[in-house]
Structure 1
Amino acid sequence: MSSNIVLTVDVREGTGTGAARAARREDLVPGVLYGGKLDPVAINLRGNEVRKALLTGNFISSMMELDHEGKRQQVIARDVQFHPVSDQVMHVDLFRVDEDTKINVEVAVRFVNESDSPGMKRGGVLNVVRHSVELVVPAGNIPDAIEADLTGLDIGDSVHISAIKLPEGAKPAIADRDFTVATLQGSRAVLTADEEEGADVAADAVEATEQKSDED
């Protein structure tokens, strides 16, 4: 997923705590740019641009562009550090990418078609094992979310990663098993109703047997 975010970047001459503090006093966000075939570079970003980008909700794990003196570089934000009290952005780690660069990202799982699930209609409860899934995906094709379809699921059924359609070129980071994303469990009310139904069936069977014995 491309976020259409463009950040102005300058190379930071000094490194270390002192240089970082000086940058913040000027409303700059210190960071590091790394990855690809080039060496890591200490950078400064415009504080107002970073804050605006964060408000979009697409800053982390979305492809953005850096603008350095008119030259553009595609990047992914890999880490953002905040001040524990003021929530000021303290540092940003950016990773160089292109459209086909494979990266690991956490992608949210969205559950759809609950109304088409017999188990949910009976009052079942969706137990979400994983609210997000780590995928290996091309940087230019990062999804906002992946969808788990609950159509046809009854109580006792599970949703595994193999049942979820992934974006083209994407695969689960966990590759050695078909892991569970969610299960559909019965609520206490449903289980009690099932138990009562089972008891009624058993009682009817006993009554029928007794009637047959009396007739004999």
Structure 2
Amino acid sequence: MATIELPATTREERGSHNRPLRREGLVPAVLYGHNVEPRAITAPATVLHRVWMRAGRTQLIDLSVDGGRAQKVLVREMQIDPRTNRPIHADFFAVNLREKLTADVPVVVTGESPAVVDAKVGTLQQLVNTLRVECLPADLPAQFTVDVSGLDEIDAGIHVREITLPEGVELVHVDPDELVVKVAALRIVEEEPELAAAEEGEAPAEGEAAAESGEEAPAE
């Protein structure tokens, strides 16, 4: 896998002083972790956005501060502007490559369920979005892929125990019998009798009823 690199610089500004930084195209961030004194840094917004799209929270990043030696880090937190979908603040955690860590790995569904797409008798429900794992930083998987193309009937599903784990990766505090995805039956809403009658033909208005009977509608 190609190395993901991110340059950064030390910053002194804090709090409200971060606004000018963002106007200059910089994102305030914090670096902490193994053998690292917590420090405030900034990263170029455009570069950080590309790095975030590639790395997420599970891929190692080579972070170089002030042109120094790169450190292996993970994104621990990323604040995103809901209007622009761009990072506005980040927390980076420096890792020890020889020390195991825990992380939440996303579960991604692939394929199409025949019960949903072909038979159209059910709807697919994803019940688990992430799985917590323990492993060395270099063994951290980017995601777990779950193929639902074999789910061809109602109540068919895939359990945690059916997900293949890479070597060196262990699940943490997870019930192996927990369902990750399942096909649920479509809910059929029965029509009320009154609504069904109304659809077949609405009762004529008062004036229309009088006209049909040959009587004049009473004057208001």
Aligned residue identity for 1:181: V
Matched-pair contact (CA < 8 Å) for 2:134–2:172 = no
Deviations, residues 144-195 of structure 1 (Å, cap 9, x unaligned): 4323355476433332101111222223343355211122345579xxxxxx
Which of 133, 152, 168 is the equivalent residue of 1:136? 133
Please state whether the residue corresponding to 2:18 is helix, strand or coil: helix
Q: Distance in 1 between matches of 2:143 and 2:19?
A: 37
Q: Show the 5 A alignment for 1:72-87.
A: 72-87=70-85
Q: Distance in 2 between matches of 1:52 and 1:145?
A: 18
Which of 44, 60, 64 is the equivalent residue of 1:63? 60
Matched-pair contact (CA < 8 Å) for 1:104–1:173 = no
Q: Which TM-score applies when normalising by structure 1? A: 0.68
The residue aligned with 2:102 is 103
Tell me: CA distance 1:15–1:178, structure 2 relative to 1, closer, same or farther (3 Å): farther
Aligned residue identity for 1:46: P
Deviations, residues 80-118 of structure 1 (Å, cap 9, x unaligned): 223344545321111112445423123123245846x8x
1:4 aligns with 2:12: no
- CA displacement at 1:10 relative to structure 2: 1.5
| Worse-matched range after superposition: 24-33 or 77-86 | 77-86
Query: What RMSD in Å do the two structures reach over aligned CA positions?
Result: 3.2
Matched-pair contact (CA < 8 Å) for 1:27–1:46 = yes
Aligned residue identity for 2:33: G
- CA displacement at 1:75 relative to structure 2: 0.7
Matched-pair contact (CA < 8 Å) for 2:160–2:177 = yes
Tell me: CA distance 1:18–1:113, structure 2 relative to 1, closer, same or farther (3 Å): closer
Please state whether the residue corresponding to 1:39 is helix, strand or coil: strand
Matched-pair contact (CA < 8 Å) for 1:158–1:183 = yes
Q: Which TM-score applies when normalising by structure 2? A: 0.67
Aligned residue identity for 1:155: I
Tell me: CA distance 1:137–1:126, structure 2 relative to 1, closer, same or farther (3 Å): farther
1:37 aligns with 2:35: yes
- CA displacement at 1:141 relative to structure 2: 2.6
Aligned residue identity for 1:4: T
Tell me: CA distance 1:99–1:124, structure 2 relative to 1, closer, same or farther (3 Å): farther
Tell me: CA distance 1:177–1:24, structure 2 relative to 1, closer, same or farther (3 Å): same
Please state whether the residue corresponding to 1:21 is helix, strand or coil: helix
Higher share of residues assigned helix:
1
Matched-pair contact (CA < 8 Å) for 2:128–2:179 = no
Q: Distance in 1 between matches of 2:89 and 2:186?
A: 46
Q: Distance in 1 between matches of 2:170 and 2:125?
A: 20
Matched-pair contact (CA < 8 Å) for 2:59–2:142 = no
Q: Distance in 2 between matches of 1:112 and 1:82?
A: 29
Percent identity of paired positions between Structure 1 and Structure 2: 23
Aligned residue identity for 2:105: E
Aligned residue identity for 1:166: L
The residue aligned with 1:145 is 143
- CA displacement at 1:78 relative to structure 2: 1.6
For structure 2, which runs of at least 5 residues remain unmatched after alignment?
189-220
Tell me: CA distance 1:146–1:89, structure 2 relative to 1, closer, same or farther (3 Å): closer
Which of 42, 45, 48 is the equivalent residue of 2:46? 48
Of structures 1 and 2, the larger Rg is shown by: 2
Tell me: CA distance 1:28–1:73, structure 2 relative to 1, closer, same or farther (3 Å): same
Please state whether the residue corresponding to 2:168 is helix, strand or coil: coil
How many equivalent pairs are there? Answer: 184
